[in-house]
């Protein structure tokens, strides 16, 4: 039975992350804030107006990089403190205060990009050739020159940066602080409900009555906040639209894709091909679940149930380390050393508590070790999630050793490839170490229900919905709850067809994800998993040579664009072959699950 969550102060310290590795005390944090203010003033006084040629540009960037390296741990400490407990007043106030400071420094130092953009293309190319460290940044500056605004306008926009981020903060406050879920009742028995418990347990609860009742109660509470959440999202959209118009982009989508360093054809292909060609496979999977559970109809509330509910192993935190070490050994000693440090040095926040951010993520501050947030429930799914986040950690752990603060982070298009690669390695390891049909079916269904459903269905359907939203915004429109509900329901119905009944509340799914405040993030999950699926096949076939290629990709960080990074891994994403091969692979996995189900009886 799902229990009510404890307060942050009541959870075991050893199950929380150690933010002391960022700052030993609040006093140390405050001293760092004072130091970064002084550094920003010194930097501005020294370099403003001096960027006039290749040599002065490189010199200014070296100092600017030092300033950013001071800001990064402060920003991370503030962000992680709030993520661990949104109800913590001190963390909330610290976050607001730092947001204002960060905006001030951004405005104060906006002259850097303005002065770089005012240099001729020839000068920027010359600077790129003279500096390996900053060549990527100089090339990016050349690309974005046409969209750079007057320096005073850039300064004003930077000053408003914390205001532009306010909708995301408001979304999280509504979702994680104000939204209180009532108990739900089944056969006279009450059960506690929260955001975390619904997404972590009730959504995949094998008992149909409990699962559907939890879904109804969860949806009822979401509906109470739909208009506030929609207005918050519309504020975010209008700010993006205004910015893209000011900069001269044809659309918000073009503006957001510029950051990802990919063209629109890759974006549209990912959505269009999956919506059309993956849908038949997933409808078969839905029908299989309906048959296993003997449901009169398959509803949206039933899609997350496990294929074999009585065969879900429970896993302790310590046992998860064994699974992950065994699965990722192929990545080499240095990689496994990082994984072991993540456990022993408390890089991971396992605790379940009120106010904690939902889902899971990895934060990788440059110059420091990564931090991972997860709410451990003890399911094998958690092991896959943790392997996923350790994939992000391993990516930046490698990139930070070979790249500077400006070139460590790759395009968002590529960001989910290393994480989903680890999920594939985990699944392949489990399959290779058992001949038990039931265990094999469980592993295969975990790959479908966790890895591919999460990345190729949940997030891809977000992307298809998000594209429709931006199309509407680009036409000069606004959105409200009614419009967003209609758009979301339409996308769900298009994908699932008559295989799944969209019960009341399915349309509110748009309210559950923070990804809409992070640019065109949702479609990149499937893009990353397409790359990692192809890479995992190479690793299975070739072993160490393929792993070495992959480690080189991780070490390249953001020094190359997504097409170049994929090419380093031996994958050509300029064609649709990797995507169609991945969809065919998903179909094969579902076919194997169907065959094993017949065999097991």
What are the pLDDT digits (tens) for 120-146?
A: 999 999 999 999 999 999 999 999 999
Q: Does pLDDT of 171 surpass 90?
A: yes
User: What's the burial of 570, exposed, middle or buried (CB within 10 Å: 0-12/13-18/19+)?
Assistant: middle
Q: Region 359-371: what's the mean pLDDT?
A: 95
CA dist 147 to 124, 206, 253, 477, 479, Å? 16, 52, 14, 23, 27
Q: What is the pLDDT of residue 196?
A: 83
- CA atoms of 204 and 305, how far apart (whole Å): 4
Under a CB-based contact definition with an 8 Å cutoff, are residues 120 and 55 in contact?
no
| CA dist., res. 493 & res. 501, Å (int) | 8
On whether residue 235 sits in a domain, the answer given is no
Per residue, what are the HEC states of 412-462?
Answer: CCCCCHHHHHHHHHHHHHHHHCCCCHHHHHHHHHHHHHHHHHHHHHHHHHH
Are 395 and 372 a contacting pair, CB within 8 Å? no
Residue-level pLDDT at 359: 84
Task: At 184, give phi and psi (nearest 5°).
Answer: -115, 160
Residues 6+ apart with CB under 8 A from 358: 175, 176, 195, 196, 199, 375
Nearest-10 Cα torsion for 23, 411, 276, 476: 90
Is 81 part of any domain? yes
pLDDT of 387 > 60? The answer is yes
The rounded percent of the chain whose pLDDT value lies above 70 is 100
pLDDT band at 3 (very low <50, low <70, confident <90, very high): low
Residues 290 and 319 placed together within one structural domain of the fold? yes
* φ, ψ of residue 89 in degrees (nearest 5): -60, -40
8 A C-beta contact, residue 421 and residue 569: no
Each residue's pLDDT tens digit, 279-301: 999 999 999 999 999 999 999 99
Same domain, yes or no: 108 and 211: no
pLDDT digits (tens, 9 = 90+) for 30-55: 999 999 999 999 999 999 999 999 99
Instruction: Identify the CA nearest to 597 among candidates 368, 311, 328, 377.
Output: 311
Are 204 and 306 spatial neighbours (Cβ–Cβ below 8 Å)?
A: yes
Position 271 in a domain: yes
Residues 83 and 30 in one domain: yes
Does residue 254 form part of some domain? no
Q: What is the largest CA-CA distance in the chain?
A: 76
| Residue 314 located in a structural domain | yes
Task: Say how far apart CA 9 and CA 21 lie, in whole Å.
Answer: 19
Residue 354 and residue 316 in one domain: no
Q: Are residues 296 and 383 in the same domain?
A: yes
The answer to whether residue 333 sits within a structural domain is yes
Residues 196 and 160 in one domain: no
Q: 87-108: per-residue pLDDT in tens?
A: 999 999 999 999 999 999 999 9
Q: Which of 363, 378, 393 is the last residue of a domain?
A: 378
pLDDT at site 1: 46
CATH classification at residue 149: 1.20.140.70
Supply the mean pLDDT for the chain: 94
Shared domain check, 68 and 123:
yes
| Structure tokens belonging to residue 133 | 């460290």
Q: Give domain status of residue 405, yes or no.
A: yes
CA distances from 448 to 82, 131, 440, 493 (A): 33, 45, 12, 20
Handedness of CA 16, 18, 20, 23 (dihedral sign): negative
DSSP state of 514: G
Measure Cα distances from 449 to 4, 378, 452, 600 in Å.
Answer: 26, 17, 6, 19
Question: Token digits for 266?
Answer: 């890759």
Which tops the pLDDT comparison, 359 or 213?
Answer: 213
* Token couple for 142: 């050349």
pLDDT tier, 451 (very low <50, low <70, confident <90, very high otherwise): confident
pLDDT, tens digit, 9 for 90 and up, residues 191-213: 999 988 898 889 999 999 999 99
In a domain, 573, yes or no: yes
The string of pLDDT tens digits covering residues 58-80 is 999 999 999 999 999 999 999 99
Range of the domain at 218: 180-224
Residues 213 and 295 in one domain: no
Q: Measured between alpha carbons, how far is 195 from 208 in angstroms, rounded to an integer?
A: 19
The reported pLDDT for the residue numbered 358 is 82
For residues 388 and 305, membership in a common domain is answered with yes
Contact 594, 284 (CB under 8 A): yes
CATH number, position 193: 1.10.287
In this structure, are 438 and 571 located in the same domain?
Answer: yes
Average pLDDT on 512-537 reads 94
Among candidate residues 582, 275, 292, the one with its CA nearest the CA of residue 459: 275
pLDDT of the residue at 266: 95
Q: Give the CATH number of the domain where residue 269 resides.
A: 1.10.1370.20
Instruction: Output the CA torsion 98→88→163→262 (10° steps).
Output: 90
d(CA 142, CA 120): 9
End-to-end, the C-alpha distance of the chain in Å comes to: 29
Q: Are residues 495 and 539 in the same domain?
A: yes
For residue 373, report the phi and psi dihedrals to the nearest 5 degrees.
Answer: -110, 130
**Residue 114 reports pLDDT greater than 70:** yes
- Mean pLDDT throughout 583-588? 96
- Count: domains in the chain: 3
Task: Kindly state the DSSP code that residue 10 receives in the 8-state scheme.
Answer: G
What is residue 601's predicted lDDT score, i.e. its pLDDT?
77
User: In 475-576, where does DSSP find H-type helix?
Assistant: 481-496, 522-542, 544-556, 562-568
Say yes or no: 149 and 185 in one domain. Answer: no
Q: How far apart are CA 547 and CA 336, in angstroms?
A: 13
| Tokens 């991370």, residue located | 76
User: What CA–CA distance (Å, rounded) separates 45 from 400?
Assistant: 29
Final residue of a structural domain among 355, 378, 401: 378
Q: In this predicted model, which residue has the larger pLDDT, 443 or 341?
A: 341
How far apart (Å, rounded) are the C-alpha atoms in residues 396 and 401? 8
């Amino acid at each position: 039975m799902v229990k009510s969550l404890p307060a942050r102060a009541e959870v075991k310290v050893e199950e929380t992350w150690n933010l002391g590795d960022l700052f030993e005390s609040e006093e140390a944090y405050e001293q760092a804030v004072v130091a970064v203010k002084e550094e920003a003033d010194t930097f501005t006084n020294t370099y403003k107006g001096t960027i006039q040629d290749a040599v002065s540009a490189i010199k200014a960037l070296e100092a600017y990089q030092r300033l950013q390296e001071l800001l990064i741990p402060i920003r991370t400490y503030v962000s992680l403190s709030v993520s661990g407990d949104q109800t913590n007043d001190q963390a909330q106030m610290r976050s607001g205060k730092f947001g204002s400071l960060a905006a001030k420094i951004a405005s104060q130092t906006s002259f850097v990009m303005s002065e770089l953009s005012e240099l001729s293309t020839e000068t920027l190319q010359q600077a790129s050739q003279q500096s390996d460290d900053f060549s990527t940044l100089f090339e990016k500056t050349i690309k974005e020159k046409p969209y750079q605004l007057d320096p005073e306008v850039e300064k004003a926009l930077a000053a408003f940066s914390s205001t532009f981020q306010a909708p995301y903060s408001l979304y999280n406050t509504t979702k994680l602080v104000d939204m209180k879920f009532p108990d739900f009742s089944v056969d006279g028995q009450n059960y506690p409900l929260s955001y975390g418990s619904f997404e972590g347990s009730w959504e995949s609860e094998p008992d149909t009555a409990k699962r559907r009742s939890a879904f109804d109660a969860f949806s009822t509470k979401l509906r109470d906040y739909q208009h506030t959440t929609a207005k918050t999202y519309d504020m975010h959209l209008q700010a993006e639209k205004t910015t893209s118009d000011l900069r001269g982009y044809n659309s918000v989508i073009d503006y957001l894709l510029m950051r990802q360093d990919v063209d629109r054809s890759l974006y549209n292909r990912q959505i269009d091909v999956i919506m059309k060609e993956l849908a038949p496979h997933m409808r078969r999977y839905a029908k299989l679940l309906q048959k296993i559970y003997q449901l009169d109809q398959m509803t949206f509330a039933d899609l997350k149930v496990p294929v074999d509910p009585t065969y879900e192993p429970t896993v302790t935190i310590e046992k998860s380390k064994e699974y992950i070490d065994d699965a990722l050994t192929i990545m080499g000693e240095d990689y496994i050393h990082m994984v072991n440090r993540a456990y022993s040095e408390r890089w991971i926040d396992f605790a379940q508590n009120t106010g904690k951010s939902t889902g899971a993520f990895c934060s990788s501050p440059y110059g420091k070790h990564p931090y991972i947030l997860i709410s451990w429930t003890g399911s094998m799914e958690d092991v896959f999630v943790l392997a996923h986040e350790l994939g992000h950690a391993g990516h930046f752990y490698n990139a930070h050793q070979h790249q500077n603060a400006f070139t460590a982070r790759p395009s968002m298009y590529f960001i989910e490839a290393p994480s989903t690669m680890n999920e594939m390695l985990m699944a392949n390891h489990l399959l290779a170490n058992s001949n038990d049909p039931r265990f094999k079916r469980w592993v295969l269904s975990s790959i479908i229900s966790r890895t591919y459903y999460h990345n190729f269905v949940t997030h891809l359907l977000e992307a298809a919905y998000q594209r429709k939203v931006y199309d509407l915004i680009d036409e000069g429109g606004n959105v409200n709850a009614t419009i967003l509900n209609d758009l979301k329901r339409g996308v769900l119905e298009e994908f699932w067809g008559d295989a799944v009944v969209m019960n009341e509340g399915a349309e509110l799914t748009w309210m559950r994800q923070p990804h809409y405040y992070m640019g065109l993030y949702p479609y990149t999950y499937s893009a990353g998993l397409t790359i990692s699926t192809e890479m995992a096949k190479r690793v299975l076939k070739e072993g160490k040579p393929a792993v070495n290629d992959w480690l080189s990709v991780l070490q390249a960080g953001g020094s190359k664009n997504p097409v170049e990074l994929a090419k380093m891994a031996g994958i050509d994403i300029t064609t649709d072959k990797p995507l169609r091969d991945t969809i065919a692979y998903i179909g094969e996995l579902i076919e194997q699950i169907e065959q094993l189900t017949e065999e097991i009886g």
